[in-house]
Amino acid sequence: MKWLMFFLKAMARALSAMVLVLVLGYVLGVGFVSAWRAHQPEVHVVVLPGRTA
């Protein structure tokens, strides 16, 4: 019985850690994509005047 409880606790801990990593990865991925999309127009703005000049 003691081993079962230990196993369940370990499984719960691993599951919570996995969920935490997944959520962190998702948040970081979304933030990176949104930042990349936000920076894209700036790149175009920088490239276009350089080409016209």
Written as tens digits, the pLDDT of the chain (53 aa) is 899 999 999 999 999 999 999 999 999 999 888 888 887 765 555 555 556 55
Output the pLDDT for position 36.
82
- State residue 10's pLDDT score: 97
pLDDT of residue 2: 92
Q: What is the pTM of this model?
A: 0.53
Q: What is the pLDDT of residue 3?
A: 93
The Cβ of residue 3 has, within 10 Å, a number of other Cβ atoms equal to 7
* Domain spans of the chain, in order of start: 23-53
